[in-house]
Amino acid sequence: MSVAKVALGERLFFDGRLSVTGAYSCASCHDPALAFTDGRVTAVGATGERHARNTPTLINVAYAASLGWSDPSLTTLEAQHRVPMFNHAPVELGLDQVLSERLSQLSDDQTIVALHEAAYPGADAAITLDQVIQALASYVRTLIAADSAFDSYLYRDEDALTVEARRGMRLFFSERTNCSLCHASFNLSGPIVQQGVPAPELVFHNTGLYNVDGSGRCPDAGLESHTGRATDMGAFRAPTLRNVAVTAPYMHDGSVATLEAVIDFYIAGGRLIETGLFAGDGRLNPHKRKEIRALDLSEQDKADVVAFLESLTDQRYRVAR
């Protein structure tokens, strides 16, 4: 990390030349105004190919113990950045098809040249793929949200939270809901990494979103596709809840539209899909995390939890709802 690498990474993050079309950048899927998401149900790649998964926020991703939704091998941003660059199932940026050409173009761009020289003094004039990835990772590590109303309440101002949000906070961290079992730590995301601390055990969760034909199967196998263990079917990483009010829609596949609907899902203890291709009762999924069960929450309780979730918005990364 250095200030100069961050500056280069920020410039590259918004540069369409890092895609096969020359018009699609990292920011095309990770829009700063939407807390670095895209507002779509599932992502769309540079060539227009629809993805199966929702675009996760990059907020506080520096602390994430694993990246992506379900791949336990992606534990650094440098490793993760190669996925959208070179993935073909589906195409995301498609950079491999034009890599040499794009690196040459960047090396001839005087703005990039100046930033590159500052970030890598004494290096060859030609920018390399590793340098691009290092710079992008440096920039993404600076996307920190820690100045929400909730943070203000914790550290500075007890009046920063509304009465409703305070009630919702107490529910969120209570055994009555168990929300914080999955959304733990200051990042409200589960395991985090910190310098000087041993790497934590990775945790993935099946929340009962699907149970196709009562078999436990999910349309997206999630963690199971990496481990081969049947018990990992449909398990995904818990994303951070910071700025969650502006990152709709929700779940790994964007299949839940609003925060209110998310709370209804957990009140039910899973999702019942009565008809169609994915019909089945997620509440009975044999791989569902055992702590996820039906909740006895009133409409006021639900509104209070939503108010608390809305209090997690750092205003630097938001758009109006």
10-36 residue pLDDT tens = 999 999 999 999 999 999 999 999 999
pTM of the shown model = 0.94
- 119 and 184 housed in the same domain: no
Q: How far apart are CA 186 and CA 195, in angstroms?
A: 15
Q: Is there a domain that residue 159 lies in?
A: yes
Q: How far apart are CA 222 and CA 232, in angstroms?
A: 7
- 82 and 200 housed in the same domain: no
Contact 134, 5 (CB under 8 A): yes
- Return the pLDDT at 321: 40
User: pLDDT of 123-172, one tens digit each?
Assistant: 999 999 999 999 999 999 999 999 999 999 999 999 999 999 999 999 99
- 189 and 93 housed in the same domain: no
- Return the pLDDT at 318: 65
Q: How far apart are CA 17 and CA 35, in angstroms?
A: 23
pLDDT tier, 320 (very low <50, low <70, confident <90, very high otherwise): very low
Token output for 168: 């919702």
Chosen domain end from 140, 162, 177: 140
CATH of the domain at 211: 1.10.760.10
Structurally, the chain folds into a number of domains equal to 2
- 46 and 179 housed in the same domain: no
By percentage, how much of the chain surpasses pLDDT 70?
Answer: 99
